[in-house]
Amino acid sequence: MLRPLVCFLITVPTLMAQEPSLEALREAGQWKQVRARIDGWYRAKPNDPYALLWMSRVKMAFNDLETGLDLARKAAALRPEDPDFQAQLGMAAGQTAGSTEGMMKQISLAREMKKALEASLATKLDNELGTQYLLQFYLQAPAIAGGGEGKAQELANRVLAINPVRGLLIQATIAFKAKNPEGAKAKILEALAKDPKSFDAQLSMANYHLRLKPQALDAAMACYRQAQALKPKEVLPYSQLAAILAEQGKWAELDATLAQARQAAPNNWLPYYSAGRNLIAENKHLDRAEGYLKTYLGQEPEGTSPDWAAAHWRLGQLYEKLGRKADAQRELAEALKLRPQFPQAKKDLERLAKG
């Protein structure tokens, strides 16, 4: 099943010179290269606020959430007035909350996220990922906790004043949440009229079409291909195309897309995972799904992509569908070994043990 897409001042002069490259790598999703670049810096200066900031970003990208949050807290304590540090703390708290068991801990982390992101965005609204995290809080949290559509609209209006395209896309997200897809479409079309080359607007329009599936899958693919043309090295359009083509059973096109993706982003095999995930969700061509997931396990996942634990969990789902209970249990156990705090894998393994 397809899921809409619903992310200095340095104390060392040589690192100051590297900062633009680090930012470019981060924006391109090249987290393995970022990690290699900053590892020595952090080891040499573990109390440098910018080393802490970047290492927090790396840890969060590679799903080491508790460590990433701890580093973000230390970094923000050293630079409490810097909006970038507060933004990282807020995003780290939010990401950790989404993967944490226990309602009280989730609530505490959500409050920490809200406080840090509101402090950050009060003075600097150009952190797109931070804006998205705060927007999702406003749309999901009850009014008593500081959420609500009014807060979300207020944020959208603030962003609209400095970045009309992004502000319109935030308004589209609010419309989607309100179950008003046509209102969302109008905002996305307005954003595309202002900037026909907006990568994010193309992804948002694909999101709109996916909500109409199966009749609009071809329209969604057209949007992903437009996005692909705008950012040929960005893996996300390839990944979404692979998911759709797998669902449609268009194997020749899928093979060509996977080959293009490997050439464009050789360190990120996310399209294989997406194709396998969709086939498992649709419960068809599970032999192909197995091959795609095993290919994905052939190299370390890129940062922000599903980790190896997620791939083993998916294989566990696949083997359960095939009636291979022992193999399913083995894969789920491996997923929990790699990521002990993995509620879905834990639940599935416990269910299989009882059955």
Is 15 part of a structural domain of the chain? no
- Inter-residue contact 220 to 210 (CB < 8 Å): yes
Q: Which domain holds residue 164?
A: 138-219
Closest CA to 41 of 55, 30, 31: 55
240 lies in some domain: no
Residue range 240-287, pLDDT digits in tens = 999 999 999 999 999 999 999 999 999 999 999 999 999 999 999 999
- Whether residue 177 has pLDDT greater than 80: yes
- Asked if the model's pLDDT at residue 55 lies above 50, the reply is yes
What is this structure's pTM? 0.87
CA–CA distance, 77 with 67 (Å, rounded to integer):
15
Q: How many domains does the chain have?
A: 1
Classify residue 120: in a domain, yes or no. Answer: no
Residue 205 domain-assigned (yes or no): yes
Instruction: Provide the 10 A C-beta neighbour count for residue 275.
Output: 29
Assigned domain for 29 exists: no
Higher pLDDT, 120 or 15: 120
Q: Model confidence over 331-344: pLDDT tens digits? A: 999 999 999 889 89
145 — pLDDT class (breaks 50, 70, 90): confident
pLDDT at residue 146 in the model: 87
Q: Is residue 178 part of a domain?
A: yes
Q: Has residue 290 been placed in a domain?
A: no
In a domain, 207, yes or no: yes
CATH of the domain at 188: 1.25.40
The tokens of 156 are what? 């959208």
DSSP H helical ranges for 141-198? 149-162, 164-177, 181-194
